[in-house]
Amino acid sequence: MRRLLALLAIAFTLAACGGGKDKVSTATTVATTSTTVAATTTAPPATAPPVTAAPTPTTARPVAAASGVQGGGYGWLATARHLRTLNGRRFTFGCPGGGAAGSVWGSGPYTDDSSVCTAGVHAGAITQAAGGAVLIEIRAGQATYAGSTARGVTTKPFGKYEGSYVVLGPATIPGGGYGTANARQLRGKNGERFAFGCPPANSVGTVYGSNPYTDDSSVCTAGVHAGVITQAAGGNVVIEIRPGQASYPSTPAHGVTPKSYGKWDGSFAVVK
């Protein structure tokens, strides 16, 4: 009986020691794992690459002109309505001195059917007496437009409208037009230069002459003929107003065949 009790005591002692070893091993493994996880999450490798911002897509603003600014229009009646949806793009407008003020809604942003030159006076970019060039940026429509009075111009309030623009300030060169525009309205401003904006895949217009061109010629098509832009890509064309010529010969170039013409009272030359 004593022998049996002794054997049972030895067996119990061995079982207890075995269980204790397993428990210690498990605890050690968990502790080691926890330490490893903590080290991984709190101390990244020194060679980890730096986090950089995602690059801006190069097609975000498809402006072909090197300066990023295109001609939008000319005169105190010109608005930016024809430029709607070209959000983020910038355009210059030409405003002759002493022009008659037009209607304006908003206080910057302005509705895109507001007179750009008059908005330019309101914003302080130009004066009505001296005129000049106004640089604008096309924006999305706004939920509301507040009216205000500034620099002698009182603008009107308006509710939701689908297109707008802001005046950024004066421009270095006045805009003459956009798209299929010609230079007829600029006749007599000999020696002055104007920018015209030409959208990609713009419609081909009629051209008379081979630089100089008659002032009723499509400026954008003349720009293609002169090799300044392509019809596919569009871009910015800068012209200089010239007096009328005795004749305008036709010389095909860059896929454009202009028409010849005789005496005409106004012309322009593509300069860049």
Q: What are phi and psi of 229, to 5 degrees?
A: -135, 175
pLDDT of 68: 72
Write down which residue in 140, 172, 204 finishes a domain. Answer: 172
- 61 within some domain: no
- CA-CA-CA-CA torsion sign (61, 63, 67, 71): negative
- 25 within some domain: no
Range of the domain at 114: 92-172
CATH number, domain at 132?
2.170.130.20
Q: How many structural domains are present in the chain? A: 2
Give me Rg for the CA atoms of the chain: 36
- 142 within some domain: yes
Residue found by looking up tokens 């080290």 in the block: 39
Nearest to 163 by CA among 143, 181, 148: 143
Give per-residue pLDDT as tens, 151-192: 999 999 999 999 999 999 999 999 999 999 999 999 999 999
Are 139 and 166 found together in one domain? yes
Are 100 and 183 found together in one domain? no
Q: Within 10 Å of residue 261's Cβ, how many Cβ atoms?
A: 19
Which pTM was predicted? 0.74
pLDDT of 112: 98
SS3 236: strand
